[in-house]
Copies of this chain bind each other. A is one copy, B any other.
Amino acid sequence: MRGLFIGRFQPLHNGHISIMEAAMKDVDELVVVIGSAESSHTLKDPFTAGERMEMLLGTCRELGWGERVTVVPVRDVNRYSIWADHVLSYIPGIDVVYSNNALTAMLFREKGFEVRSTPLVDRNVLSGVRIRRMMVEGEDWEVLVPPVVVRIITELDGVRRMKELSERGDRS
């Protein structure tokens, strides 16, 4: 059985890992789609698809999931009526979708897929938006993401990128 899990992974954090762990108990293989693949260098989407792919591949390898996880970057189409079809045309066939996102769940259910909710993660603690804010404000975000992600963001000087983006204050 093959499952699908979609996220933006800006950055990959422990909330994503919990969902993937839960999914990996049910399925043989997991297709992980990097959504909004074309976006980067903004406060909401700081990292490129390539950088996010490194986070996912490195972490999956560390967790011993290398062979069972396939990571696929997919750009947005901003037409929700065909968005699920768009995603499906880029990936191997799947049996079930994992998602806690209401819109993703709605769109795949409308296409007839089973969508499973995953065990609760406290989204007030573990969410991309909170982690990005912590990075900009100099708080301790490192414990909320896998070690590989800390290393990658450090190497590409990602926190400085985010701080510069937060200061641009475009008044042109």
Contacts and interface: CB of A to CB of B under 8 A. Distances in A.
A134 interface: no
Given A86-B82, A129-B172, A102 B53 contact: no
A95 to B, nearest CB: 14
Nearest to A47: B81
Nearest to A129: B171
A40 B107 CA distance: 11
A147 interface: no
Interface in A77-127: 78-82, 85-86, 88-93, 101-103, 106-107, 123, 127
B165 A127 contact: no
Contacts of A79: 38-40, 89
A101 B70 contact: no
